[in-house]
Amino acid sequence: MVKATRGVLVTCDPAVKQILLQLDEKAGRHRFIIADLDETHVLISPDAVERVKDELEEALEANHWNPLAVEDQ
């Protein structure tokens, strides 16, 4: 029997995919990844798209190095 699951296909580079996998692990019972498809694709729950965008943006901003910020200090 075939089972269909609604989801949103996310295409990203392998580094961003690793961040998504870490965010999913931290989400506990509110996990959003339905399927880890390959190196650059994951299927996520459509209900979690906005939350994932926000969390990913925060994670990327935290890992962003700004040389101008270093000079200001």
41-69 confidence digits (pLDDT tens): 999 999 999 999 999 999 998 887 777 77
Paired with 10 in beta bridges are 42
C-alpha span between 57 and 43 (Å, rounded) = 18
Q: What is the pLDDT of residues 1-53, one digit of tens each?
A: 898 889 999 999 999 999 999 999 999 999 999 999 999 999 999 999 999 99
Query: Where does residue 4 fall: left (phi above 0), alpha (psi -120 to 50 degrees), or beta otherwise?
Result: beta
User: 8-65 is classed in which CATH architecture?
Assistant: 2-Layer Sandwich (3.30)
